[in-house]
């Protein structure tokens, strides 16, 4: 049974794809995730690069990979991870003193932890605290006869309660190119308390770096905008507005250390806030579902369009833009929680859409192609994808996930990568299902509305990672990002 310190993934618990796995795969993924929890740090180097093993293995497992593929995914990535660190002990002269005056104490987060927020060396302390906090809530729920899981109660109180501490932690979830949110995503999607604790601890050690000020400035401006705006402003139109802004489209420079912080938010903050203020999500179940599907489709469209902007070169997705696609399942999962108000869900989605727009500007606004160009995509004659046939996929697919998505995922099962590729295909499969079923399909702003375009997107995603050159480009709207990508062989 899964607990805050023990990972156990059942064969019928495969996340939102809802396939059936084997007992052997269940045992293996549980064992490997437990090893990762106990032996690896959340960052694999001193620059804060993230450990993706949880994302990778659960994405493989959740799309039908067998034991050998899951084991390969772990083996390919365990070698460069940093070892887990112990919890600080003030008796051993830790600096600063009192770092762990008791991470198991119920008030530790409020009393001692704040001085350590944003410091990665305290990840084990935050992890232990959240594990204990979840376990304590489980005990309380059992005594009270409540159906609310301990990890759900912790999220409710630590992230969504509206207290200053909760507001702070929620903001940190969006830091680090959404990595804390993505880590938490796998915990809530699979209902794994230990992974929820990992996600919250990871959020706690990320620095704001001005993100909190930006998000709240956008929210304040949005409140004023709502008072004078009527009707629906499509997300696509906001991406187009960003692209058409001379200030925003030129704000990111190649030599910026961080294209978001040192580029867009330093050179065009007012313009960015003005566009982001137009983001609004209705606080109704129907409006939330439609806007979630619209957000998901827009992120996928923008990332795919950017990958095709150089017709003479092999296609490549932007490393940063795909995180805004890969994080979509978080919002699909959290929208299903009955214990969270629709107002809180809508606010969370508004933050995501605003950051989608900021990230697009930070990648120098790659062209937004006509959807017909996506539909017309063909694998290049020299594509390496044909050399990587699909492995056997899941035995049952009674889940509305398309055969094209299943085949694309299976093509990646034995690829040597860190999980970004399989996450992209998994998210695309969910986005396709969501867009096809949503009320959003009845609105005129729907983009991806044909079988042909979905088939092309899956080919594009698999072709791009097997094509020669770097697996991804970074800041795709700048020509320097494409200099090392080869031209397509004739």
DSSP string, 189-250: HHT-HHHHHHHHHHHHTS--TTHHHHHHHHHHHHHHHHTT--S---HHHHHHHHHH-HHHHT
Q: Is the pLDDT of residue 385 over 80?
A: no
Where does the pLDDT of residue 437 fall: very low under 50, low under 70, confident under 90, or very high at 90 and above? confident
CB contact at 8 A, 321 and 303: yes
Calculate mean pLDDT across residues 420-446: 85
Torsion of CA 50, 51, 55, 57, to 10 degrees: 160
* Predicted confidence (pLDDT) per residue in 110-165, tens digit: 888 899 999 999 999 999 999 999 999 999 999 999 999 999 999 999 999 999 99
Average pLDDT along the chain:
92
Question: How far, in Å, CA of 422 to CA of 405, rounded?
Answer: 11
Q: Is the pLDDT of residue 297 over 70?
A: yes
* Predicted confidence (pLDDT) per residue in 239-284, tens digit: 999 999 999 999 999 999 999 999 999 999 999 999 999 999 999 9
Q: Is the pLDDT of residue 20 over 90?
A: yes
The Cβ-side half-sphere exposure at 257, using a 13 Å CA radius, reads 3
Where does the pLDDT of residue 442 fall: very low under 50, low under 70, confident under 90, or very high at 90 and above? low
* Predicted confidence (pLDDT) per residue in 210-234, tens digit: 999 999 999 999 999 887 776 789 9
Calculate mean pLDDT across residues 312-338: 98
Q: Is the pLDDT of residue 177 over 60?
A: yes
Where does the pLDDT of residue 303 fall: very low under 50, low under 70, confident under 90, or very high at 90 and above? very high
225 Cβ contact list (under 8 Å, min separation 6)? 277, 278, 280
Query: What letter would DSSP give residue 84?
Result: P
Q: Is the pLDDT of residue 49 over 80?
A: yes
Q: Is the pLDDT of residue 399 over 90?
A: no
């Amino acid at each position: 049974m899964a607990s805050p310190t023990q990972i156990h993934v059942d064969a019928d618990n495969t996340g939102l794809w809802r396939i059936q796995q084997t007992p052997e795969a269940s045992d293996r993924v549980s064992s490997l995730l437990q090893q990762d929890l106990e032996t690896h740090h959340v960052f694999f180097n001193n620059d804060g690069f993230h450990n993706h093993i949880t994302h990778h293995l659960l994405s493989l497992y959740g799309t039908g990979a067998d034991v050998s593929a899951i084991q390969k995914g772990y083996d390919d990535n365990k070698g460069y991870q940093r070892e887990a660190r112990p919890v600080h002990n003030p008796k051993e002269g830790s600096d600063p003193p009192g770092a762990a005056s008791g991470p198991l104490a119920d008030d530790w987060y409020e009393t001692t932890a704040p001085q350590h927020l944003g410091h990665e060396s305290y990840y084990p302390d935050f992890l232990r605290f959240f594990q204990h906090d979840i376990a304590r809530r489980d005990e309380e729920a059992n005594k009270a006869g409540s159906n609310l899981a301990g990890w759900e109660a912790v999220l409710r109180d630590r992230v969504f309660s509206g207290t200053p501490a909760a507001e702070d932690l929620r903001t940190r979830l969006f830091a680090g190119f959404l990595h804390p949110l993505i880590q938490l995503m796998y915990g809530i999607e699979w209902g794994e308390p230990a992974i929820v604790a990992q996600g919250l601890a990871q959020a706690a050690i990320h620095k704001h770096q001005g993100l909190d000020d930006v998000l709240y400035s956008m929210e304040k401006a949005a409140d004023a905008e709502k008072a004078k705006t009527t009707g629906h402003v499509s997300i696509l139109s906001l991406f187009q507005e960003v692209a058409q802004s001379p200030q925003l489209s030129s704000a990111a420079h190649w030599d910026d250390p961080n294209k978001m912080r040192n580029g867009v938010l330093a050179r065009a903050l007012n313009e960015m806030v003005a566009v982001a203020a137009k983001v609004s999500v209705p606080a109704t179940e129907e409006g939330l579902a439609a806007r979630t599907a619209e957000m998901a489709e827009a992120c996928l469209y923008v990332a795919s369009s950017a990958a095709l902007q150089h017709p003479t070169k092999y296609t490549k997705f932007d490393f940063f833009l795909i995180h805004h696609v890969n994080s979509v399942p978080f919002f699909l999962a959290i929208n299903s929680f009955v214990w969270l108000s629709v107002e809180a869900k809508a606010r969370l989605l508004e933050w995501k859409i605003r950051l989608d727009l900021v990230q697009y500007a930070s990648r120098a606004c790659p062209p937004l192609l006509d959807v017909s160009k996506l539909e017309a995509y063909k694998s290049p004659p020299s594509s390496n994808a044909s050399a990587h046939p699909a492995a056997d996929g899941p035995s049952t697919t009674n889940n509305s996930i398309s055969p094209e998505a299943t085949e694309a995922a299976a093509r990646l099962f034995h690829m040597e990568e860190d999980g970004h590729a399989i996450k992209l295909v998994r998210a695309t499969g969910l986005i396709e299902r969501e867009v096809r079923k949503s009320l959003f399909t009845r609105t005129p702003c729907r983009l991806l509305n044909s079988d042909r375009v979905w088939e092309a997107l899956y080919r594009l995603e698999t072709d791009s990672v097997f094509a020669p050159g770097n697996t991804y480009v970074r800041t795709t709207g700048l020509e320097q990002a494409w200099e090392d990508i080869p031209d397509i062989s004739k």
